[in-house]
Homo-oligomer: A and B are copies of this chain.
């Protein structure tokens, strides 16, 4: 991607001061920017970088008055911070939606359909009766099983695997290597010590505006559907077991594991490496601290819990403080025991 300073100024409705033909191909922080980069100066704490940066262009508030020489072209705007955010989003849109067309070889079953603006990368596999909306971007090595449906504007990065019958909503982003719809982990013990797989004939439903991280796994339900509601954000390497339900706008960090049939409320925040047992309910707006182990339902909304087993975080923090001083307490108990003996003897 390459733009001139003039083209960018046009997007930002800014005024150019300096050479408007300079070429921009990257966004950067002012303290790291090099030739070809564009950056912004808003917080005057960083003003000195303006006089030393090699950035080709700097977005800057129009009321700013430079005190020394500088070599960048300036783009003057009302609010440099906001303008840069706009630019970031435009840039991301261009990156994400510039791919278009069908690369070869790809495999698209004759019964599959897709809308306008599609990108289907080489080696993508689209099974029977798959339905794909408009402006969907399917990167190379994506596998879409039979009868899957995918909404509009969704992006499936390289190597995403979606098993048969699952549903993916609109404006979803699923990162490389994520697996949607693998069999739930259910086995019935037999009398001879072996296990027999319990058929997993349900599906996975991913609603709109859901983001799913790289190599995350979401299992299909035994019956019914594992459900990820709208606006949920999942980081990398998360495990979501069969029949789990995650409420809307819940955010879950990397390496969290959620066991079967658990229901997570809306607008929860779950930090990294948390484990949650099966068949429980977590209330709306619960916050769970990193590495916690949640073994019971949380009924009250808005709590923050921590530890394993997880309890109210303020209680837990007090425990942590003492848990670090256990040898001291041991000593104090021993001291007490001696003194008691002395007192008893002296009686």
Contact surface of A with B, Cβ cutoff 8 Å:
26-29, 32, 88-89, 91-92, 95, 103, 105, 107, 121-123, 125, 139-141, 143, 145, 157-159, 161, 163-164, 173, 175-177, 179, 182-183, 185, 187, 193-195, 197-201, 209, 211, 213-215, 217, 219, 223-224, 231, 233, 235-237, 239, 241, 248-249, 251, 253-255, 257, 259, 266-267, 272-273, 275, 277, 290-291, 293, 295, 308-309, 311, 315, 318-320, 322-324, 326-327, 329-330, 332-333, 336-337, 339-340, 343-344, 346-347
Determine the distance from Cα of A259 to Cα of B255 in the docked complex, in whole angstroms: 11
* B-side contacts of A123, CB under 8 Å: 107, 123, 125, 141
Min CB distance, A335 to chain B, in Å? 8
Which single member of B231, B241, B329 contacts A254 (CB below 8 Å)?
B241
* B-side contacts of A332, CB under 8 Å: 333, 337
Select from chain B the residue with minimum beta-carbon distance to A108.
B122
Decide: A293 and B293 in contact? CB cutoff 8 A: no
Decide: A185 and B254 in contact? CB cutoff 8 A: yes
* B-side contacts of A311, CB under 8 Å: 324
Decide: B272 and A275 in contact? CB cutoff 8 A: yes
**Which of A32, A179, A319 is most buried by chain B, counting CB atoms within 10 A of its CB?**
A179
Decide: A95 and B164 in contact? CB cutoff 8 A: yes
Select from chain B the residue with minimum beta-carbon distance to A329.
B333
Determine the distance from Cα of A248 to Cα of B194 in the docked complex, in whole angstroms: 8
Decide: B237 and A239 in contact? CB cutoff 8 A: yes
**Contact A233/B185 with A224-B29, A315-B324, A326-B319 known, Cβ cut-off 8 Å:** yes
* B-side contacts of A145, CB under 8 Å: 158
* B-side contacts of A248, CB under 8 Å: 193
Q: In the complex, given contacts A29-B224, A91-B199, A194-B231, what are 16 additional A-B residue pairs having Cβ atoms less than 8 angstroms apart?
A: A28-B223, A28-B224, A32-B223, A95-B201, A123-B141, A157-B182, A175-B179, A177-B217, A179-B236, A185-B253, A193-B248, A215-B237, A235-B239, A236-B239, A322-B329, A343-B347
Select from chain B the residue with minimum beta-carbon distance to A121.
B125
Decide: A213 and B224 in contact? CB cutoff 8 A: no
* B-side contacts of A173, CB under 8 Å: 183, 197
Min CB distance, A175 to chain B, in Å? 4
* B-side contacts of A241, CB under 8 Å: 254
Decide: B237 and A217 in contact? CB cutoff 8 A: yes
**Contact A309/B319 with A182-B213, A239-B237 known, Cβ cut-off 8 Å:** no
Decide: B213 and A215 in contact? CB cutoff 8 A: no
Min CB distance, A322 to chain B, in Å? 4
* B-side contacts of A223, CB under 8 Å: 27-29, 32
Determine the distance from Cα of A192 to Cα of B189 in the docked complex, in whole angstroms: 47
Decide: B267 and A193 in contact? CB cutoff 8 A: yes
> What 7 pairs between A and B have smallest CB-CB spacing?
A92-B199, A143-B158, A182-B214, A161-B176, A322-B326, A179-B214, A107-B122
Which single member of B318, B324, B337, B340 contacts A319 (CB below 8 Å)?
B324
Determine the distance from Cα of A318 to Cα of B327 in the docked complex, in whole angstroms: 7
* B-side contacts of A346, CB under 8 Å: 347
Determine the distance from Cα of A241 to Cα of B183 in the docked complex, in whole angstroms: 24
Decide: B182 and A159 in contact? CB cutoff 8 A: no
**Contact A215/B159 with A125-B122, A318-B326, A339-B344 known, Cβ cut-off 8 Å:** no
